[in-house]
Structures are given as structure tokens and as C-alpha cells.
Structure 1
Amino acid sequence: MSKVPSLSIFFMGAAAFAGFLIPIVLFIYFRKNKKTDISPFFVGCFIFIFFFMILETSVHKVVLGASIGANIKNNIVLYAIYGGAMAAVFEECGRLFAFKVMLKKRMDKDINALMYGAGHGGFEAAAILGFTMISNLTLAAMVNGGKMESVLGNLSGDALSQIRTSITTLATTPSYIFLLGIAERISTVVIQISLSVLVWFSVKDKKSLFFAALLIHFVVDAITVIMTGTHIPAVIVEAVLAAVAVVAALFARNIYRKEEN
């Protein structure tokens, strides 16, 4: 069984650390430097958990587990449209619910939109990058420590196939790819904060901004799925995502400066 390179393990550790550090740094920065309220951050965390990790994931299990699911997963364009639409609808409706209901009394401070985005995007970074890398590190340690054979002996069928695929992926993936996860999360957090600004002001006075947020979210996710699914080099994918993040941030900043109290 191939071992996982030491450099890959080191970069996985760095990525895991970054995944948990991102929300902490964002929270401290917005609280100390921008004087935001605390509650929007944790509302953002809750909305991501409930609307994405629970509601959206449940829909995926039903749709992709049905007969139509195979058709969607086997067609990259359909899968991109489906995935982008689901992510946009659930997360942006989550923001809408947060601002109209949970943070209704905090709408007097526009800077709270950024704190909400920090919670939403920050928790996503911890969940997707932090915990994923910890899982990878655990598996890599078992592989390199020679402890996987006994585990594999107790598995069969799909479970065995999946774990073998995971081991092969960890062993053969270029080490630098694990570091790119940090860049991806930073870009994603910037986009999440930008989208939060758009939905915030859509609730306050410009309804059309909600549809702008939906469209941006859909396009970002759909393009990412297509680029990844067509095996475009990861460096190019992350460069495109970073460029989109910059454009989204500039657009959101322009809206913020025009509309803030």
C-alpha cells in the first residue's frame, strides 16, 4: 500500500489549522476593529449549518438518490446547474431568513452584514477545510503507520472501494494541492461576505439585490463544478475563483458605500 508523502501530511496540517483559524481571525477583526455586534456571527454559523448542512444535504440525498440522480451526476452540465441552483437557493434564502427574522433588531448597524458573512463563510471554512483535513490526516497516519490492513479486512463492497480510493487519492495527489485549499477558502469567504452585503441591503431597501446574490452564487458554484469536472488544473480553478471573489467584493463594497447608514 502506497504511503502518503510527508510533505502532503504537513500541508494537510497547515490547511486544517487555517480552516479553524479563518473564522477566529474574522470574528476578532470585525468585533475589535469594526465594532460589530457578536450575534450576527453566530447566526451566520447557524444558518450555514441548518440551511446547507441539514436542509440542502437532505434534498441532495432524495434527488440524487432517486432514478433521476444518475442522469444528473453523469452529466457535468446538469450537475453544475443542479448544484449551483441548490446552493444559491438554500444559502441565499437562509440569509434572507436570518436578516428578516433572526437579526431583525440588528439591522440598524450595516457593518453587521459583514459579521454575519464572517460567521457563514467562516464556519464553512472550518467545516469543509478544517474537518476534512483532520479526516485526511487521520487516514494518512493510519496508512503510514501500517494500521490500515486490519481495517480494510473488515470492510467489503462500496465501503472498501471508497476507502481504497481515498487512500490512493491521498498518496498520489501532489502535495501543493492541499495548500490550495487555503486559497479556495479565503476566496469563498470573501464571496460569502459579499453576498451577505447584497442580501442585507435587499432586505433594507433594494429588493433586486437578492436576485443578484442568487445569480452570483449560482454562477460561481456552477462554473467551479464544470472546471473541476473537466479536469482543469487546480491552480487555474483557484485563480478564476480568486478573480471572481475580487469582482464580487468590489461590487458589494460599492453597494455598501452607497447604502450604508
Structure 2
Amino acid sequence: MDRVPFLSMVFIAISCVVGFAIPVILFIYFRKKKHADISPFFVGFTIFMGMVMTWEASIHRAVFGSTFGVNLKNNIMLYALYGGLMAAAFEEIGRLIAFGFILRKKYRDKNINACMYGAGHGGLEATVILGFTMISNLLLSFTINSGNISDVLGRLSGDNLVQFEASIKTLIMSPSYIFLLGIFERVFTVIIQISLSVLVWFAVKRRKFLFVIAFLLHFAVDAMSIIMAGIHMPAILIELILGIEAALIAVFVRKIYVLES
């Protein structure tokens, strides 16, 4: 059987380390350089775990385990609409809960706490999506290159076998640089998560219309990402577009932050 290129494994390892480093770096930066409170960071962690990893994930499992879900995935526009709405609803409502009911009183005086929350929310997302995924890829790569993958395949069947074979093919056939693109994706996504947190923060404090803007921006970014992936747009182009989106949103939100502070 073919092997996973050594350079791919190096890049997978680098991406894995970065996935776990992102929340640590963000925490240190906002705590030491910007003097944000500690609690908002861990509230961001908790809200992401509760709203996204638990509630949203449970609904996805129920939906995609049904015939309706299968049909939904086969229609790229409906899938993008569903994915964008679900992500925006759970994450932005999570921010409302965090800022409206948990981070009150003493935390409200520091607007930088909105960024600290976003660092926790986006940081955990980076660890889950990039860090743990790359650990899985690295372990699978070692199994492939050791020649023991046939034993694993022999214990699988049905959809699990199909998905596992697809993962193997991706690791073996993909250009090595592909495994570094996840770093850029997570950096851009964290920028967006922090920016959306700032919008909802000021929506709770005084400008309610900013919540609608945050919701629509979140929906648009996620729906666009699903569509681009669905039409098999080159990965580099997808990340470039995501980077442009992140930059535009960050510039817009920075102006809001300065005006409202």
C-alpha cells in the first residue's frame, strides 16, 4: 500500500501543535497585553462546548441520521442555508447568554473582555477542529506507514469503511501543503469569532441592532464556506476568500469598537 509522505506528516504535526497553541497564545496576549479578565475566556470555552459541541452537534446527528438529512446534504444551497443558520443561531445566542446573564457587573467595564470571550470561544474551536483532527491524522498516518492499516480496515464495514478509506486516500494523495492550510483557516476564523463577540457585546450593552449584523455576518461566512467546499473550489482559493472576509469584518468591527469605547 502507498505511504503518507514524510513532509505531509511533518506539516500535520505542525498544524496539530498550532491548533493547541492558538488558545494559549490568545489567552496570554489578552491577559498580559490588554489586561482582560480571566473569566470571559473560560466562559467562551464553556459556551462553545455547551451550545456548539453539545446542543448543535446533537441536532446535526439527528438531522443527518434521517432521510431528510441525506437529501439536505445532496442540495448544496439548502445545505448551506441550514449550516449557516444553525451555526449563527447557536453561537450568537450563546454570546447573548454569556454577555447578558453570565458576564455582568464588574466584567462590563472592560470592553476588551469581549475579545477575551472570543479568544476562548474561537480558541477551543481551533483546538477541536485543528488540534484533535491533526492528532487523528497523524495516528492514522503512522498506522498506514507501518503496514498495519489492513487489520483496521478488516474490522470496518458500511459507511464507516467508506469514510475511513476516504481519509486514507486523502492522507496519501493530497499535496503536503494542504495540511498547513488549516492553520490559516483557524487564524482567520478566530479573527471572525472575536469580531462577532465584539458586535454582540455592544449589542447587549446598548446597540441591539448589532446582534442582527453579527447573526447575518456569521450566517453569510458559514454558508459561503459550505458552498465553496460543495462546488470543490481549490482549497487555497477558499482560504484566500475566508481571509478577505476576516479582514473586512475585523476592520468594520474595529471601527465599532473604537466608536463605542
Give the TM-score normalised by structure 2: 0.98
Match in the other structure for 1:3:
3
User: Hey, which bits of structure 1, 4+ residues long, moved more than 4 A?
Assistant: none
The reply on whether 1:137 has 2:138 as its aligned counterpart is: yes
Q: Give the superposition deviation at 1:157.
A: 2.2
- SS of alignment partner, residue 163 of structure 1: helix
5 Å matches for 1:21-32? Answer: 21-32=21-32
Report how many aligned residue pairs link the two structures: 260
Distance 1:70 1:151 in 2: 27
Encode CA deviations 1:36-81: one digit per residue, 9 max, x unaligned. 0000000001111110110101111122222321221001111011
Q: Which amino acid aligns with 2:211?
A: F
5 Å matches for 1:45-124? Answer: 45-105=45-105, 106-124=107-125
Contact 1:51 1:94 in 2 (8 A): yes
Contact 1:224 1:237 in 2 (8 A): yes
Q: Give the superposition deviation at 1:158.
A: 2.2
- SS of alignment partner, residue 59 of structure 1: helix
Distance 2:70 2:112 in 1: 44
Contact 1:8 1:176 in 2 (8 A): yes
Match in the other structure for 2:200:
199
- SS of alignment partner, residue 107 of structure 1: helix
Encode CA deviations 1:180-225: one digit per residue, 9 max, x unaligned. 1000000000000000000000000000000000000000000011
Contact 1:2 1:168 in 2 (8 A): no
Distance 1:70 1:157 in 2: 16
Match in the other structure for 1:160:
161
Match in the other structure for 2:128:
127
Distance 1:101 1:81 in 2: 29
- SS of alignment partner, residue 63 of structure 2: helix
Encode CA deviations 1:65-121: one digit per residue, 9 max, x unaligned. 223212210011110110000000000000000001111131121110000000000
Contact 1:114 1:197 in 2 (8 A): yes
Distance 1:64 1:211 in 2: 28
Gaps spanning 5+ residues in structure 2: where? none
Contact 1:184 1:238 in 2 (8 A): yes
- SS of alignment partner, residue 109 of structure 2: coil
Q: Which amino acid aligns with 1:211?
A: V
Comparing 178-187 and 163-172, the one that deviates more: 163-172
Q: Give the superposition deviation at 1:163.
A: 1.3
Contact 1:51 1:91 in 2 (8 A): yes
Q: Give the superposition deviation at 1:159.
A: 2.0
Q: Which amino acid aligns with 2:81?
A: I
Q: Which amino acid aligns with 1:96?
A: L
The reply on whether 1:35 has 2:35 as its aligned counterpart is: yes
Q: Which amino acid aligns with 2:251?
A: L
Give the TM-score normalised by structure 1: 0.98
Output the aligned Cα RMSD.
0.9
Distance 1:63 1:163 in 2: 22
